[in-house]
């Protein structure tokens, strides 16, 4: 076996071992992805010797991932539906569940009459807002967040997808700076109950912004605020879709059914069978 092949292969094997020792799942796969990221090209175990600069970068990436820094933060982006969004420290990284939320919202959006208006509450990276704007060329989306870091990240992603004319980014603590009414409201609010924080994966517990996770004692504080104000910002017949925790369905339904102006409240399950989405309409 050629020395260069041994060197490349052994570099990745050592990285995999370090990741496995740190508790990273699928360590061999992640080690290969990190090497490709360090090299700036797909991994070739039979390629040339590892350049010193690539080796240094790879060791830094492996050390960071071993500290459980999320891979998207190391890469600087993550996939969402059929497009990519930039991610930054201090901004919540979109999860697969939120892709399912987006898919449901897109179905609703495409059923509406021309020129629909949508509101993305707590936009984070702007992934939901971008998805909605891409789904309807004649639609307008308002994306709000209270975090300056999130707003900067969302603006970057909106610009990257050339959607500035149809997506407005605005600083607002939920509805505090929103006066308009919409056909559709979507939200992925914080819904982790405080007692659940110790059990979160290190990637979430250590590196995601606490404000994007903390839903209060029972995880439903943000939902209560959103649902109580939603009827004031939904047009007649408008729809609200909210991502919720896996065991929050009954409590979320009870909250929704006590809100004057909301009707047809229901909870739908995600692809793994967990209660994940609260859906209601405005009278």
Judge whether 92 counts as a catalytic residue: yes
Q: Are 159 and 98 in contact (CB under 8 A)?
A: no
CA–CA distances in Å: residue 176 to residues 144, 155, 173, 225: 10, 20, 5, 11
Enumerate residues 6+ apart whose C-beta is below 8 A from 113.
Answer: none
CA–CA distances in Å: residue 119 to residues 30, 140, 235, 282: 36, 9, 12, 14
- Measured CA to CA, the distance from residue 213 to residue 56 in angstroms comes to 34
- Measured CA to CA, the distance from residue 64 to residue 61 in angstroms comes to 5
Q: State the catalytic residue, choosing from 35, 72, 80, 92.
A: 92
Q: Where are the beta strands (DSSP E) in the chain?
A: 77-80, 83-86, 117-121, 140-145, 167-171, 182-187, 234-243, 262-269, 275-282
Sign of CA dihedral 211, 216, 217, 222: negative
Q: Name which of 74, 100, 101, 68 is nearest 86 in CA terms.
A: 74
For β-strands 117-121 and 83-86, DSSP reports them as: unpaired
Judge whether 157 counts as a catalytic residue: no
Q: Are 45 and 12 in contact (CB under 8 A)?
A: yes
- Measured CA to CA, the distance from residue 141 to residue 108 in angstroms comes to 14
Judge whether 189 counts as a catalytic residue: yes
| Structure tokens belonging to residue 242 | 């909210």
Q: State the catalytic residue, choosing from 94, 189, 190, 231.
A: 189
Q: Which residues are catalytic?
A: 92, 188-189
């Amino acid at each position: 076996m050629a020395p260069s092949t041994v060197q490349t292969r052994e570099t990745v094997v050592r990285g995999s071992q370090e990741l496995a020792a740190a508790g990273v799942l699928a360590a061999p796969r992640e080690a290969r992805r990190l090497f490709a990221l360090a090299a700036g090209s797909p991994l070739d175990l039979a390629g040339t010797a590892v350049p010193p600069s690539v080796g240094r970068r790879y060791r830094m990436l492996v050390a960071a991932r071993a500290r459980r820094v999320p891979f998207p933060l190391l890469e600087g982006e993550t996939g969402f539906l059929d497009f990519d969004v930039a991610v930054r420290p201090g901004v919540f990284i979109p999860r697969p569940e939120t892709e399912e939320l987006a898919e449901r919202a897109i179905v609703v959006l495409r059923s509406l009459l021309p020129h629909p208006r949508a509101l993305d509450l707590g936009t984070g990276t702007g992934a939901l807002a971008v998805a909605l704007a891409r789904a309807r060329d004649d639609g307008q989306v308002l994306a709000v967040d209270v975090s300056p870091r999130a707003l900067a990240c969302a603006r970057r992603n909106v610009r990257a997808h050339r959607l500035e004319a149809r997506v407005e980014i605005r600083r607002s603590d939920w509805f505090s700076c929103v006066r308009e009414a919409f056909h559709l409201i979507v939200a992925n609010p914080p819904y982790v109950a405080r007692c659940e924080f110790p059990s979160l994966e290190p990637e979430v517990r250590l590196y995601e912004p606490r404000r994007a996770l903390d839903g209060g004692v029972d995880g439903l504080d943000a939902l209560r605020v959103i649902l109580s104000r939603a009827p004031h910002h939904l047009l007649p017949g408008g729809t609200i879709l909210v991502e919720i925790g896996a065991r929050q369905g009954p409590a979320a339904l009870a909250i929704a059914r006590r809100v004057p102006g909301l009707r047809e409240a229901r909870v739908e399950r995600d692809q793994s069978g967990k209660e994940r989405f609260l859906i209601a309409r405005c009278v």
